[in-house]
Chains A and B, each alone.
Chain A
Amino acid sequence: MEISALIKKTAAETRSPEDTALVWPNLVYIELISILLATAVLLFLSLVSPAPLEELASADTTPNPTKAPWYFLGLQELLVYFDPWLAGVVLPSMIIVGLIVIPYVDPNPNGKGYYTFSERKFSVLGFTFGLALWYILIVIGVWFRGLDWSWYWPWSDSSIHMSVTAVKLVDLELIIQNMFGLSADPVMTLGRYAPTVSNIITVLLFLGYYAVGFTIPFLLLRNFFNQLGMIRYNLVMFFFLSMCGVPLKMFLRLIFNIKYLLVTPWFKI
């Protein structure tokens, strides 16, 4: 079979010449005007609302809290729920790699050159959920975090320190250990790693989250799996489940006071 026969023609290629517009000048003119307008708006905004630059940094007057620029406050807010290597390195890397991967794992040809939601429900919903989560974290960081990075409602007095000792957190393995009266002695030793029974249960629960998440769409939405194929399905599900895991971890910490779901000598999640 000819290779050209395998390549799906894009919508524009199937149109007749009189039904199309030229890039130059039709499109480029509109783009040029957009650039000029955006520049003018930015110039005007920077004149009426100067950048909030502060005095030179001084060791005598350190601000409390020290906030990152607004666009990084979502990441700073994640530090409440995750260790720095996760919130600052792993999660941002996964977001960037996940975004890079999107065009390669998307087999749906619909939506090229026109707006559609009905033909790309999973893609649009998945992406907008992640975007919404990102924005909500920024909103929290900008408007709801005050002294000592404590939570302040708009009606709270933001000049009074909250009681830091009010937050008591416990690891999931300790909760399981106490709940089922399990032994605190390690059952085996693998170098630095000497897990207890409850620790092994948390490892299984963590792996189980991904295992169940990978299996359910495979069993119930076989069409979805078939469309993507093995490799793309696994990539999509890995990033999708990891994205859903972030608010899940936050939820477990907030409601059940769980500090770490998984504790190993090398990393804690």
Chain B
Amino acid sequence: MGFMSDIWGYPYRLGITLFLIVGTALLTVGFVGIAVWLEKSFKNEKIKK
């Protein structure tokens, strides 16, 4: 498996991949967290249908 050789060294293929995945996941969770927090905080102000 030639493509797996030295996957941690430069050009940091696995490191960049993990950074991308973890970073995007954390930011998404953070944004959704804000959305959930806003929903809970303003629950009583929701317009009655």
Binding site for B on A (CB under 8 A): 11-12, 14-15, 113-118, 124-125, 128-129, 131-133, 135-136, 139-140, 144, 150-151, 153, 162-163, 166-167, 247, 250-251, 254-257
Contact A129 B49 (CB under 8 A): no
How many angstroms from the CA of A81 to the CA of B19 in the assembled complex? 16
Contact B11 A250 (CB under 8 A): no
4 tightest A-B CB contacts, nearest first = A132-B27, A128-B31, A115-B38, A11-B47
Instruction: Please indicate the chain B residues that have their CB under 8 angstroms from the CB of A117 in the complex.
Output: 32, 35-36, 38-39
Q: Which of A11, A132, A153 contacts B31 (CB 8 A)?
A: A132
Using A163-B10, A254-B16 as known contacts, say yes or no to A114 and B42 having CB atoms under 8 A apart: yes
Contact B47 A15 (CB under 8 A): yes
B5 to chain A, nearest CB (A): 11
Task: Pick 7 A–B contacts, CB within 8 A, sort by A.
Answer: A11-B48, A117-B36, A136-B24, A162-B10, A166-B10, A251-B17, A254-B13
Using A117-B36, A129-B24 as known contacts, say yes or no to A12 and B31 having CB atoms under 8 A apart: no
B2 to chain A, nearest CB (A): 9
Interface string of B3-36 (1 = CB under 8 A from A): 1000101111111110110011111101110011
